Amino acid sequence: MCKECGCGESGGNTRLQFTAKGYTPENAAAVEKNLLGLAGVLYVHIHAHDGETTIDYNPKKTKLREILGVFDSYGVEADI
């Protein structure tokens, strides 16, 4: 939950679970860090070895295209 506004508490969040291709240990860490830097992203968990990815975010604060842009910038193909 976001400490500033409590946005994780009310259930208005979206969870994405998908497999992505092209992770390395280095770019997986960078993708995670950059996703968590987006205003509405509350949780990110990436398994670089098999591409399993989970993201919880508030679509009122962060648009899906912003999330996908982070993957694109690191050459990772997100199958959403």
70 token code pair: 């982070």
**46-74 pLDDT per residue, tens:** 999 999 999 999 999 999 999 999 999 99
pLDDT confidence of residue 79: 85
pLDDT confidence of residue 11: 64
pLDDT confidence of residue 2: 52
Read off the pLDDT of each residue in 4-9 and give the average, rounded to a whole number: 52
**12-44 pLDDT per residue, tens:** 899 999 999 999 999 999 999 999 999 999 999
Delineate the domains of the chain, giving CATH numbers in brackets: 14-78 (3.30.70.100)
CB within 8 Å of 33: residues ≥ 6 apart: none
